[in-house]
Amino acid sequence: MLQACLNGNRTKHEHAAVPYTPFELAADAALVVRAGAHELHLHPRADDGTESLRSVEVAATLRAVRAQVPGVLVGISTHAGIPSPTPLAALLATWTELPDYVSINLGEAAAPDLWHAAACRGIAVEAGLSSVADAQRLLQVVPPATCCRLLVEIAEQTLEEALHTAHAILRTMRAFQPQVPRLLHGTDATMWPLFQVALEQHLSVRIGLEDGLQLPSGALATGNEQLLQQAAAQLSAQRREAPLRPVVQPFNQGH
C-alpha cells in the first residue's frame, strides 16, 4: 500500500506547494491518486494555515477531498503539536464528518484518551510508533480491535540509526495481531532510503511533503504529485523484480 502524506506540519515557507486549504488538499489528492497513491494522510488547517482538529475544518477538508477522490481512504493526524485550548480527544467527539482512520502517536500522553474517543466514534486507528517504548506501550494498553495499521515512524536521520530503531520496533511488535499491516517511513534524509527498505521487506510505504521535500536524486520536488510519481515508479519496479533481494535482515526475524 502506498500512502500519500500531503502536508503534515510543514509550512509554505519550507515549500510553496505545501497544501493548506480544503481546495489545495483536494487538488493535491486528485493528483497523487492519479499518480498511484492508494490512501491519503492529511493535517487539516484553519484559515490562517495553522493545524486544526475543529469540526468545521475537519468537515470542510474531508468533504473537499472526498469529492475529488471518492472511495479513497482518508486519515487524519491527531499529534500533540496541533494547537487547541480543548483536549484533542474532546474535539474528536464533536466531528460531524468522520475520517476513515486517525493516526495516534503512542508516545504522547493523550494517546489512550484519543484511542478511546476514536473507538467510541467507530474510527479506525493507525498506531504511530517511533520507539520501542511506544511499541511496548501499545502492547501494554491492549487496544481495541480498531487498530488498522502499525505506523512505524522513524525520526533518526542516519540510515544506520534509522534501521536500528525500525528493526527494534518491528521485532517488539512481531506477535501483535499479524493480520494488521505494517507501514514503515522515514523523514527528510531517511525518507527515500527507508522507502526502499520497506519495499524490500514487503511493508506498506508512504511519501509526501510531510516526510520530505526532495526527490531520490536530491533535487527539490515540485510538489506532492512529483514525489508520488517517483514513489509509484519505484513500487512498480520493485514488484517486477523476482525474487526480491533484501539488503538488510528481514524485520520479521531477529534475535
Tens digits of residue pLDDT in 223-242: 999 999 999 999 998 877 64
The whole-number pLDDT of residue 241 equals 66
Eight-class DSSP state of 45: B
Domain of residue 213 covers 2-240
> 112-156 pLDDT, tens per residue?
999 999 999 999 999 999 999 999 999 987 677 789 999 999 999
Residue 215 forms part of a structural domain: yes
C-alpha cell recorded at residue 111: 494517546
Residue 254 forms part of a structural domain: no
Unique residue bearing C-alpha cell 512529483:
226
Measured CA to CA, the distance from residue 64 to residue 83 in angstroms comes to 23
Residue 164 forms part of a structural domain: yes
Measured CA to CA, the distance from residue 194 to residue 190 in angstroms comes to 6
For the cut 70, the answer to whether the pLDDT of residue 252 exceeds it is no
* Mean confidence (pLDDT) of the chain: 92
For the cut 60, the answer to whether the pLDDT of residue 253 exceeds it is no
Measured CA to CA, the distance from residue 216 to residue 85 in angstroms comes to 40
List the CATH number of the domain containing 101. Answer: 3.20.20.70
Unique residue bearing C-alpha cell 496541533:
82
Residue 233 forms part of a structural domain: yes
Measured CA to CA, the distance from residue 102 to residue 118 in angstroms comes to 8
The whole-number pLDDT of residue 244 equals 43
C-alpha cell recorded at residue 173: 511488535
Residue 112 forms part of a structural domain: yes
Unique residue bearing C-alpha cell 468537515:
59
Residue 184 forms part of a structural domain: yes
Residue 15 forms part of a structural domain: yes
For the cut 90, the answer to whether the pLDDT of residue 45 exceeds it is yes
Eight-class DSSP state of 153: E
Q: How many domains does the chain have?
A: 1
